[in-house]
Amino acid sequence: MSKTVKKTYRYRFYPTDDQEDLLRRTFGCVRYVYNRALEARVESWKSNRRTLTYSESSALLTDWKKDPELDFLNQVSSVPLQQSLRHLQVGFTRFRAKKSAHPRFKSKRRSAQRAEFTNSAFTWNGQQLKLAKSRSPLKIVWSRPLPQGAEPSTVTVGLDRAGRWHVSILFETSVAPTPVAKATAVAIDLGIHSLATLSTGEKVTNPQFYKRDRRRIAKAHSTLNRKVKGSANHERARKRLARAHAKVADRRRDHLHKLSTRLIRENQTIVLEDLAVENLKRNGGKAKTGINRSISDAAWGQLRSLLEYKAGWQDRNLIIVDRFFPSSQLCSSCGARSGPTTLTVRQWSCDCGAFNDRDVNAARNILAAGLAATVCGGDRSRIRTPL
Catalytic residue annotation: 189, 273, 359
Partner residues linked to 152 by β-bridges: 171
Q: At what angle do helices 78-96 and 54-66 cross, to 10 degrees?
A: 150
Partner residues linked to 272 by β-bridges: 188, 320
State how far the Cα of 249 lies from the Cα of 112, in Å rounded to an integer: 15
Q: How many CB atoms lie within 10 A of CB 174?
A: 11
Strand, helix or coil at 288? Answer: helix
State how far the Cα of 332 lies from the Cα of 353, in Å rounded to an integer: 12
Strands 355-357 and 152-159: unpaired
Q: Do the Cβ atoms of 55 and 23 come closer than 8 Å? A: no
State how far the Cα of 263 lies from the Cα of 383, in Å rounded to an integer: 22
State how far the Cα of 302 lies from the Cα of 333, in Å rounded to an integer: 32
Nearest to 370 by CA among 221, 213, 188, 247: 188
Cα-only R_g, the chain = 25
